[in-house]
Amino acid sequence: MKARVMQNVMRGISSVTASVLALSVIGTGIADSYRKNLDDTLHTTSYVTATDTGNAQYVSDYATIEDMADAAKNIAIKEGEEGTVIMKNDNDVFPLSETGTVALFGLAAYAPYPYNAGDLRAGNEDSVDLRQALKDAGLTVNETIEDFYMNKFMNPHEVQTENQWTGQIETSIGYDNIYNTNVGDMEDFTISEIPADRYEEFGAPTDWKDSVDKENTTAICVFARPGGESNTYGTDTAVNFAGEKTGKDPLALSEDELSIIDAAKETCSKVIVLLNTGNAMGISEIAEGGDHEVDGIAYIGCINDYQCTGIVNVLTGKVNATGALTDTYVVDNNSNPAVQNFGGDYYSDYEIVAANAENGYDSRYPNTDISNDISASSFGGGAATYNGGQYIVEAEGIYVGYKYYETRYYDSIANPDSNASSAAGATQGNTWDYDKEVVYPFGHSLSYLDYEQTVKSVDVDLSEDGDTTAVVEVKNNSDQDGYFLAQLYVQQPYTEYDKENNVEKSAVMFLNSAKVNVAAGESEEVTITIPTKYLASYDYTTVKTYILDEGDYYFTAASGSHEAVNNILGAQGKTTKDGMDENATGDVMVWNENKELDTTTFATSNGTEVTNVADDADLNYWTGEDTVTYLSRQDWDGTYPVNYNKDVAVTLADSPKKDEWIQTLQGKQYTIQTDDPATEGGDQDVRFDTDNIQDEQKTNIDDPYWDKLVDSITIDESVGAVIHGGSQSDTLTNVENPIVTQNEGVNGFKPAYTDEKTGKTYHFNVSSQTLLGSSFNPDLAHEWGLIEGNTGLWLGVYDVWGTGLTQRRTPYNGRNYEYISEDPMLTNRIGYGIISGCNEKGILNGPKHIGFNDQEHNRSGVSAYMNEQKMRETDLRCFQGALEDAKGLAVMVAFNRIGATNASHHTGLLKTILRDEWGYTGVISTDMMNNGYYFSPEAMIMATVTQVADFGGNDNHINLGDGGVDATWPYISEKTVKNDATLVNQARENLKYQLYTFANSAVMDVSTEKVNTWWDNALKAIRIISGALTVVCVLGWLGFYVTARKKEEE
């Protein structure tokens, strides 16, 4: 009896221990795959990084963490000082008297956006918000209004939430009432600003207006518009405080906000409005002549921990105002040609792309139904889909932002035959009138101190790698020493050749800018340089390369694009009598040494012939007819964009290239070969270490060492390491490279540094992309890049997605706060500054997201059609400064398609332009690999992607799925790729780029060693103990069974 009971007990225990064994064995594999995520969550360290301090090539410029933190803080303050833009300054409202009184109106006055730490804000203990900065400067803040907002209406309080995974209590700031921080995806957007007539309802004293000493008080109204990943503003989705849909533009000031301004005007002698956003807002109502006109308007961007100190230094005149607008501010965004095609919609027969029994199955996914619906989420999941059902046509071509408004203005005066004054695109009347459409132009910048900027000389080096150098004289006409902004613009010739061959030219183009200190009454010369290649234009129709037109190039220095174009018109003999809204105020330098059309100098780049690589990005390529008419200054009326989703039916089945189009949308850019066996990798007796990598290897990617090194990588690992790039680059067998983890974020490294001695935590993501842009100062960007690099060295992390350089094509992109400007060259030069600074410290700083990721709506599959001039001269030019000129080390690719091709599959973009033309040897990462049917691994490898951003950790293999196939793409396995030498060799080539990049970075100074964390040890102990117990208990069970049976038989 006893033996029978015991056998049951032992069997039961065996089942428990066997289950624990199964749990620990499989759990160990899972934990290993998500090691980085576990480390982040559990605050453990799996890899110990050792720095060879004695021989390190890259060392921090700061000896102590306090020095490092101070330097970062100082740059952030400078961003506030240099990025604050005085847009309107009437009645001497600026600068504010440091002993004056201000009344703060608007929710963002008390909690500037963003108010909580996270991706956008660092969250250091000593951060300073706007109210505090004003008080620190000596200003008195009206307490009655402050009390109402802070204590009655907003009521800030700590919100403690328990991390659902770790159980840790996390504290953030919450408010009873605050502005909406969630834009959503073209959804209703509530502007939750309380109108002034409801203050008392929410606790303001009935006599609150009497509390304001009107004569001696200036009102500061601060209004915010937020942003966010996967967020896109709709064009008419505003909802008011009462919760009513107004049908208005959510970026325009709402009636509730205007009521606050009116109350401020009633109670204060002067009124200032501060714009706290990364999106150009609709502010015509408060600008000159508006129904709610105010005395002063300033742009303050999206703030971070310390920028408010710098912003207040500008508002109070402690420093001169030198910021400039990065975008054009217009009365009605419907006047923007890019907005005519925004958001997108379905092809009329998008379903024919689907793989199913009716259309035929995809050979890569036999018998699998794959739709072509747009997935509800860009975060993957859901039904299988190619996600390619929708498209937009970027028919505005190069005419984004000011290039449209200023060119049309110029043509309305200089080229009346161009129909520039026609009704097309006019929102303020029956004819198009610049002054009725534009409120503040790109580059608009008011200085407190009177100054002049004049181009003194221009030198153009016409060689392929030559520079154009302009010397600008800045004359300080004031009686104070000051700091000034010089902006350089050019007008390229618009020739008959251009007109005949559809080469578009903006009437004015920003080139670069610089700042300089000038003593009172003195002049200083500042040299501004840009690569000459940016004077060339892309002819996509005839010679299919860059051309430099013959003729007059007008260089001018001006405070904004409109002043620049007026200067050029003045130099061409035009005045207000010809229709100009203002006579020229500055001089122009004409350069005309290019005597004939040059189609050769810029037709090669880095030894590569520059020619069309994206004919199929043009919708007309597929339809076989002129379906799309691109905006042209030859006829503004006849070419103004229609909406190519609503006004035109695009039918895939009608295409003469129907099958090719469908294949492209299905992501079949490359077919895996079956008859060309690849060579298996094996130990070549070389390693990734300082013994093998000397200067000759660092400077020459063609050195035989690199081929030998990557030849040692197995077929499984070469393909696996690329298509499972994950959140870290893993150690490759036979290579023994260090682990490199990737880090967010766009305002600096997100990981924090904790000083072991003091316990103090430092956050270094203190930058503001918006204010860095509006600083118009590439030197400041370079300083920030150095800081970002130094913080990487302090943190011991070497890879960051640390800036955003996508063009702000429209004001509605919810991610504009991460980007710099509507202008390619301003973005290009700021990007150049940041990346060159980071490179000096050996840090991989990858800008996001190359390739027209200019809307978040349907970002994970929408096709963006365009012609190749637009492709090369807009979004790609934004990145060219960072990746080609500054020799960037990393980049993240757009989520969307360029034409019908996934940007991460686009060999024309990534291999031909980026790698060959720009000579880029760095890391190329996809955006989030959220959909295996949209991202094709073979196509990404062939496009020279070095890491596909899935979320695994230690997963360098393609045999981890069921039955030895790839876990994500079942048609990929060692068996299927080993007979395609081209594919495998390209994967090795891509890893060569990655390793070469590491060799030219601070990664070369470190080695990583895997160490066991406490949970590694715990799992190991559980495995051993449960295994041993299982054996013992099973034997015990058998023993008791035998005993019991024998007794029963007896």
Partner 1 sequence: MNFIKKQAAGSWLTFIALIVAAVSLIVYRVNIGSEGYFKNASVPYSVNYCIAGIVALAVVLIMGQINVSGIAKWVGDICSGILRIAAPAVFIGSLMVLISSRIEGFAFIYMSNEEVLHEVQTAENLASAHGTIANMILLAVAAVISMVAAFFSLKKKDKAN
Return residues touching partner 1 (CB under 8 A).
4, 8-9, 11-12, 14-16, 18-19, 21-23, 26-27, 29-30, 33-34, 37, 118-119, 164-165, 181-185, 187, 227-231, 376-384, 814, 951, 962, 1034, 1037-1038, 1041, 1045, 1048
| SS3 call for 174 | strand
Q: Which amino acid is at 673?
A: Q
Cα Rg of the chain, angstroms? 31
Residue 529 Cβ, how far from partner 1 at the closest point, in Å?
39
Residue closer to partner 1 by CB (options 156, 961) is 961
Residue 765 Cβ, how far from partner 1 at the closest point, in Å?
14
Residue closer to partner 1 by CB (options 8, 979) is 8
Residue closer to partner 1 by CB (options 20, 72) is 20
| SS3 call for 1008 | strand
Residue 865 Cβ, how far from partner 1 at the closest point, in Å?
25
Q: Is the peptide bond before 849 cis (omega within 30 degrees of 0)?
A: yes
Residue 798 Cβ, how far from partner 1 at the closest point, in Å?
24
Edge-to-edge strands, sheet with 553-557:
509-518, 482-491, 553-557, 588-591
| CB-based contact 915:692 (threshold 8 Å) | no
Question: What are the C-alpha distances in Å from 831 to residues 884, 888, 915?
Answer: 11, 10, 18
Taking residue 379's Cβ as centre, other Cβ atoms within 10 Å add up to 12
| CB-based contact 977:723 (threshold 8 Å) | no
Residue closer to partner 1 by CB (options 508, 929) is 929
What's the sign of the alpha-carbon dihedral 126, 131, 134, 136?
negative
Rounded-to-integer distance, Cα 41 and Cα 33, Å: 14
Residue 22 Cβ, how far from partner 1 at the closest point, in Å?
4
Taking residue 138's Cβ as centre, other Cβ atoms within 10 Å add up to 13
Residue closer to partner 1 by CB (options 374, 393) is 374
Residue 712 Cβ, how far from partner 1 at the closest point, in Å?
30
Residue 296 Cβ, how far from partner 1 at the closest point, in Å?
31
Rounded-to-integer distance, Cα 1050 and Cα 1042, Å: 12
Residue 228 Cβ, how far from partner 1 at the closest point, in Å?
3
Say how far residue 5 (Cα) sits from the centre of its chain: 68
Task: Enter the tokens of residue 196.
Answer: 């002034």
Residue 814 Cβ, how far from partner 1 at the closest point, in Å?
8
| CB-based contact 369:933 (threshold 8 Å) | no
Say how far residue 954 (Cα) sits from the centre of its chain: 27
Residue closer to partner 1 by CB (options 708, 1047) is 1047
Residue closer to partner 1 by CB (options 14, 1000) is 14
| CB-based contact 822:327 (threshold 8 Å) | yes
Rounded-to-integer distance, Cα 608 and Cα 359, Å: 41
| CB-based contact 895:378 (threshold 8 Å) | yes
Rounded-to-integer distance, Cα 956 and Cα 991, Å: 12
The H or E element that residue 78 is part of is helix 65-83
Residue closer to partner 1 by CB (options 181, 529) is 181
Residue closer to partner 1 by CB (options 478, 959) is 959
The residues, ordered by sequence, that sit 6+ positions from 1025 with a Cβ below 8 Å of its Cβ are none
| SS3 call for 584 | coil
Label residues 406-426 b or e (16+ Cβ within 10 Å = b): bbbbbbbbbbeebbbbbebbb
Residue closer to partner 1 by CB (options 30, 649) is 30
Say how far residue 243 (Cα) sits from the centre of its chain: 32
Residue closer to partner 1 by CB (options 21, 414) is 21
| CB-based contact 469:497 (threshold 8 Å) | no
Residue 379 Cβ, how far from partner 1 at the closest point, in Å?
4
| HSE-up of residue 935 (Cα within 13 Å, Cβ side) | 29
Tallying the residues shown for the chain, one arrives at 1050
Residue closer to partner 1 by CB (options 815, 978) is 815
Residue closer to partner 1 by CB (options 358, 962) is 962
Residue closer to partner 1 by CB (options 66, 379) is 379
Taking residue 879's Cβ as centre, other Cβ atoms within 10 Å add up to 28
Rounded-to-integer distance, Cα 771 and Cα 134, Å: 19
Taking residue 729's Cβ as centre, other Cβ atoms within 10 Å add up to 26
Residue 860 Cβ, how far from partner 1 at the closest point, in Å?
10
Residue 355 Cβ, how far from partner 1 at the closest point, in Å?
13
Task: Enter the tokens of residue 910.
Answer: 């990534």
Taking the chain, what is the end-to-end CA distance rounded to the nearest angstrom? Answer: 13
Task: Enter the tokens of residue 672.
Answer: 């895996």
Residue 72 Cβ, how far from partner 1 at the closest point, in Å?
23
Residue 1003 Cβ, how far from partner 1 at the closest point, in Å?
27
Residue closer to partner 1 by CB (options 284, 727) is 727
Residue closer to partner 1 by CB (options 832, 969) is 969
Residue 643 Cβ, how far from partner 1 at the closest point, in Å?
25
Of 215, 213, 221, 214, the residue nearest 272 (C-alpha): 221
Residue 896 Cβ, how far from partner 1 at the closest point, in Å?
16
Residue closer to partner 1 by CB (options 108, 843) is 108
Residue closer to partner 1 by CB (options 31, 133) is 31
The residues, ordered by sequence, that sit 6+ positions from 112 with a Cβ below 8 Å of its Cβ are 129, 130, 222, 224, 276, 300, 303, 308
Residue 787 Cβ, how far from partner 1 at the closest point, in Å?
25
Residue 6 Cβ, how far from partner 1 at the closest point, in Å?
11
The residues, ordered by sequence, that sit 6+ positions from 1008 with a Cβ below 8 Å of its Cβ are 47, 48, 49, 50, 731, 738, 739
Q: Which amino acid is at 128?
A: V
Q: Which amino acid is at 342?
A: F
